[in-house]
Structures are given as structure tokens and as C-alpha cells.
Amino acid sequence: MFKTWEELEESIKNCNKCKLYKTRQNIVFGVGDRKAKIMFIGEGPGADEDRLRRTFCWKSW
């Protein structure tokens, strides 16, 4: 377990537990209040999230 958000983020930078590490350009750690009572967790980031380094980036049609 990680004691801080910074420790968790650092571990993600070096993670190779799934195949996303082969093609990612950036890590997508997330944004927002780290003391929030509710957190939304999505699937693996898509190309837009990777490029923008932000979660939940979708194109509006």
C-alpha cells in the first residue's frame, strides 16, 4: 500500500503490469481534490487521455 498520492503516482510511472506501458506516452494519474469522499475510476486511458494527461477526455459529437 502507498502512504501518499506521490508514492502511488511514482509507482505508476514505472509500471509494466499491463500492455498499456508499451504504447503510452504519458501516465494519466488523475485530477481533483485528493481528499474527496467520492472518486471516479475509469478503464485504461485512451489516446486523448494519454495525449492530454487528463482523465475522462471524450470528444463531444
Query: 36-54, pLDDT tens digit by residue?
Result: 999 888 887 888 888 888 8
Q: Looking at the domain assignment, is residue 40 inside a domain?
A: yes
Q: Looking at the domain assignment, is residue 19 inside a domain?
A: yes
Yes or no: say if 24 and 50 are a contact pair by the CB < 8 Å rule: yes
Residue 57 or 58, more confident = 57
Rounded to the nearest angstrom, the gap between the alpha carbon of residue 12 and the centroid of all alpha carbons in its chain is 8
Q: Looking at the domain assignment, is residue 58 inside a domain?
A: no
Residue the block writes with cell 506521490? 6
pLDDT tens figures, 12-43: 888 899 888 888 888 888 888 989 999 888 88
Q: How many domains does the chain have?
A: 1
Q: Looking at the domain assignment, is residue 59 inside a domain?
A: no
Q: Looking at the domain assignment, is residue 16 inside a domain?
A: yes
Q: Looking at the domain assignment, is residue 60 inside a domain?
A: no
Question: What local confidence, expressed as pLDDT, does residue 60 receive?
Answer: 56
pTM: 0.66
Find the domain containing 23 and state its range. 5-52
